[in-house]
Each structure stands twice: as structure tokens, then as C-alpha cells.
Amino acid sequence: MRLIISIILLVAAPRIYANDVASYLQEYGRTGVSNYSTEQAIIRDSDLENLLNKLSPFYGDTLTRIRQKAYYLTYKKAIQSNENRTLAVNRLLNGGGDADGGIVGQNLGYLKNFNLDDFDAESARLINLKLSSTRIQHYKDFVLLAGFIGTGKDILYQKVLDRDVPGKTKWYISLALARMGNSEQIAYCMDKVRSLPINDNLLDYVVPDLLYMRQKVGVDFCVTILNSNEKLCHSSNPDNSESIVCGYKILEILAPVVIGIPVAVDATGFVRVDNYEELLNKARQWF
């Protein structure tokens, strides 16, 4: 009988403990040790608004790891929820003013996984507040987020004309403006890309930026590379030192962006296929 009671208590403990979010976060602040089952119970047993209310005192805690954990629980609940996810989006955006750069970067990374309709006018206001100073932490990510939701055009256009703004920062501002349909900046970005040699570096570091614009001219540029038979790239297989056509790599970049493309990718973003040549020909014909 004693054994049965002990088992019941062990099973019930995570649910009972999960209802006391404050106790869990205080214990986490003391030990720095996460409890996965308790966190899952916290996420499961509270609706989104209720959980955010429970977490509210901890977004401003003096301990960095507690603030970080509070935002993590906010994100995990929201991303698994069909509720008003805008509440979580704006809470994560408020965390964009945290003194710890790691938390700011973490929250911006979380925000990339939300949909456009999860952002509202308050979201735009919070993002616009970050666009005025190029010296803030993770400014680039705020700029790209602004381009994603379509806010801050006037502020960004002033920055792209400002001679004191570094060239690398201006590149991301131009991308954001291009995403919002600024024809001048679309042309500028395309001219910059076309001036670069086609190689692994272009595909790894520049083409993803180009596709962020979500402009047809950028996709057309990628399709040109897809159709080229020049061997200007290298295989991701370290044991294969031979040059290959860049079309294989471009497929991995296009697959998450172009709807209906006949290419399957795994969780890591790599194309899943037995015969690359056959897949490349199929993709070329499809385009």
C-alpha cells in the first residue's frame, strides 16, 4: 500500500509543482538545473495568457538565467499553441530591450518561427523603436524582422542614406526595404549580387539573403544558377574534392522558399535523394 501511494505521489508531483511556476523558477535560479518533465507540465497545464501572467514577474528578474528561462517557456508555449500568439510575440519583443545580449539574440531567434499574422500594430511599434539606433544589440535582426512584417520604411530609408551607417549594416537595411517592395533597393541588391563570382561563398552567405527579399528577380537569379552546367561549387561531402555544378546546392536553398518545388529536404535542410542528377533535371524542367 505504501509503495502504491509513493508511485501516485511521484506521478502527481510534476503536475502539482508545475502549477507553481514561481517555485520552479526560483529553484531553477538557485540550482541552474532544468527539469524537462516539469517544464512540459508547465506548458501543458496553463493556457497562454495565464502562463504569461505567471511568468510576468520573472521577465525582469535580476538573474539572467531566470529571465532567459521565462522567455523560453513563453516561446515554447506559444509555438505549440493555437491561442492568441501575438501576446507571446510582444512579450518576446519587449525582451529585446534586455541588458543581456544573449537574451536579445535568443528572443529574436524565437521570433523567426512565428507567422506574419502573429504580429500586430504593437509589434510594429516595438520593432520601430529599435530601428533608430544602429548601435543596439542585434540591430541587423531587428531590421530583417521589420522587413518581414513590413514596418519602419521611413526610418530605414533614412538609415540607408546616412553616411555614418556601416556598409554591412546598410546591406541588411537594403534587403529589408527590398522585401517591402522598394524598387531602388531591389535593383541595388541585385546589382551587388550579380557583381560577385558564383561559388560556394555566394551560395552559402549571399543567396540566402537574396531569397529573404521574396522578390521574383532574386528567384530568377537562382534559377539561372540552377540551369548552369559550370562546375563552380564543391560537394558538402569532405571526402569529395571534385568541383560540381552549383545547381545541387541551390536546390537546398530554394526548397524552403519556393512553393511546390519537387525537392524534399530533411530536418537539417539537406536534400533527400538517391540520384542528384535525376533530381536536378526534374527541378530544371519544373521551373
Q: What is the pLDDT of residue 83?
A: 83
Q: What is the pLDDT of residue 207?
A: 96
For 19, the grid coordinates are: 502549477
Q: What is the pLDDT of residue 225?
A: 97
Q: What is the pLDDT of residue 75?
A: 98
Q: What is the pLDDT of residue 269?
A: 65
Q: What is the pLDDT of residue 203?
A: 96
Q: What is the pLDDT of residue 283?
A: 94
| HSE-up of residue 97 (Cα within 13 Å, Cβ side) | 11
Q: Is residue 138 within 8 Å of residue 105, measured between CB atoms? A: yes
Phi then psi dihedrals of residue 89, to 5 deg: -55, -45
CA dist., res. 124 & res. 145, Å (int): 10
CA dist., res. 17 & res. 3, Å (int): 21
| Angle between helices 153-161 and 121-131 in degrees, nearest 10 | 20
According to DSSP, the residues that pair with 234 across neighbouring strands are 243
**pLDDT below 70 — which residues of the chain?**
1-19, 268-269
Q: What is the pLDDT of residue 15?
A: 44
Q: What is the pLDDT of residue 8?
A: 43
Q: Could you say which DSSP state residue 242 is in? A: S
Q: Is residue 38 within 8 Å of residue 69, measured between CB atoms? A: no
Q: What is the pLDDT of residue 7?
A: 43
Give the pLDDT confidence of 172-182 residue by residue, as tens digits. 999 999 999 99
Q: What is the pLDDT of residue 6?
A: 43
